[in-house]
Structure 1
Amino acid sequence: MYVCICNAIRETELRCAARRVRGNAEAIYGSLGRTPQCRQCLDEAEDIIADEVSSAGMGIAAAA
């Protein structure tokens, strides 16, 4: 599924970048070489990033 139509950013691409880069949606878009255009996707992108960060944190806690 596309999260950002303007930049053709798919959810899987956003989740992968969120695991590598810390920051908000704008920072992660930047790591992908893109910038928000119409900005309508940022709320959903932030939710996806928060979900990915939360999931990654739980994996670290489980491994400890």
Structure 2
Amino acid sequence: MYLCICNALKESQIEALVREGVRCEKEAYERLGCRPQCGMCVPVARALVRKSAPQPA
């Protein structure tokens, strides 16, 4: 599903970056070569990064 319409970013792209070690939404946008435009996606991206991050045992 699309997470950011302005940049055409999908949830799966953010999840893949988290698996590669990304730990915040700002870093995810930078790695994807874009930045938030309208800002509506930032809270959702932040929550997705937190949800997808590996949990300590």
TM-score, normalized by length of structure 1? 0.77
Greater helix share, structure number: 1
> Take 1:22 and 1:12, find their aligned partners in 2: how far apart are those partners?
13
Unaligned runs of 5+ in 1: none
> Take 1:23 and 1:5, find their aligned partners in 2: how far apart are those partners?
22
Give 1 or 2 for the bigger CA radius of gyration: 1
Q: Give the match's secondary structure for 2:44.
A: helix
CA RMSD of aligned residues (A): 1.4
The one-letter amino acid of 2:13's match is E
Name the residue aligned to 1:57: 55
Unaligned runs of 5+ in 2: none
The structure with higher relative contact order (CA 8 Å, sep 6+) is 2
Instruction: State the aligned residue count.
Output: 57
